[in-house]
Copies of this chain bind each other. A is one copy, B any other.
């Protein structure tokens, strides 16, 4: 496995692989790997060459957010990536990605200001912009993103589709702890009692899914199930729950087709997100 620091060298490595007719899979990450990341890398192994980008992107953190505190462990990350057969880790400095004079923003309108976007202004502009850059630096055949970040996945799909990037976006199912908590680098922020309380996200989504399976077709009833479940957990504070289509994230009164239920909850220092996709005929 090779660690690459510059855009130039990274692009050459991808081009070289493709000139030899080898497919390239890209896994964009912010590091501090857990099973969720490793699952993305394993899925990417369906390509001949796997590239993982490891970059804690400053522009997707807002003021007062956890950019400085965001957990980092580069050596451990490299060892983990190597253990699942990754070929290249692209780990640029911020100055390599954002040299002086940088001034361009990619804005996926309508979808960026909802849900997490309402609580994290500018977050999805930062995400869409850095991913557009990564797609041009590493013009892979496929790029892999976790379903856990449902809104991020939807925004990136829209960006790639609208700007005609020739990269297939692959969403990979959320990896969970045994008790159902979605894996996240931010779970490290949880104290022991908070960690126990954090299963409430999954439980709330489960309750809503069960209602839908039993035939409930009123989104307000599903919402109430989520709100009540989170409300019953004293350590948890619900930021939002959104019941919407899974492409444009538009809230829907009509529970039909692919429906996303996504929520964000604050527990202690941590801001946790989770979601479930219902397929309703």
Contact = CB atoms under 8 A, between A and B. Distances in A.
Interface string A1-39: 000000100010000000000000000000000000000
A11 to B, nearest CB: 6
A133 interface: yes
Interface stretch (A61-69, A108-116, A170-178, A267-275): A108-116
Contacts of A247: 101
Count this chain's copies in the assembly. 2
Contact of A162 (B104, B108, B163): B104
B104 A108 contact: yes
Q: Is the interface of A mostly helix, strand, loop or mixed?
A: mixed
A188 interface: no
A129 B107 CA distance: 10
B104 A128 contact: yes
26 contacts: A11-B166, A102-B162, A103-B110, A104-B106, A104-B107, A104-B108, A104-B158, A104-B159, A104-B162, A104-B163, A105-B106, A105-B107, A105-B109, A106-B106, A106-B107, A106-B163, A107-B107, A132-B132, A132-B163, A133-B162, A133-B163, A133-B164, A136-B163, A137-B164, A139-B139, A139-B166
A248 interface: yes
Given A104-B163, A133-B162, A137-B164, 10 more contacts: A7-B164, A11-B166, A101-B158, A103-B108, A103-B110, A103-B162, A104-B158, A105-B106, A106-B163, A133-B164
Interface in A115-153: 128-129, 132-133, 136-137, 139
Contacts of A106: 104-107, 163
Interface in A84-114: 101-111
Nearest to A128: B104
B105 A166 contact: no
Contacts of A107: 104-107
A74 interface: no
Q: What are the 9 tightest A-B residue pairs by CB atom distance, in nearest-first order?
A: A104-B162, A136-B164, A103-B109, A105-B107, A133-B164, A137-B164, A104-B108, A103-B110, A132-B163
Nearest to A155: B104
Interface string A152-191: 0000001100111110000000000000000000000000
A9 to B, nearest CB: 13
Nearest to A136: B164
A26 to B, nearest CB: 14
A137 B106 CA distance: 17
A104 B129 CA distance: 11
A108 B128 CA distance: 14
Contacts of A109: 103-105
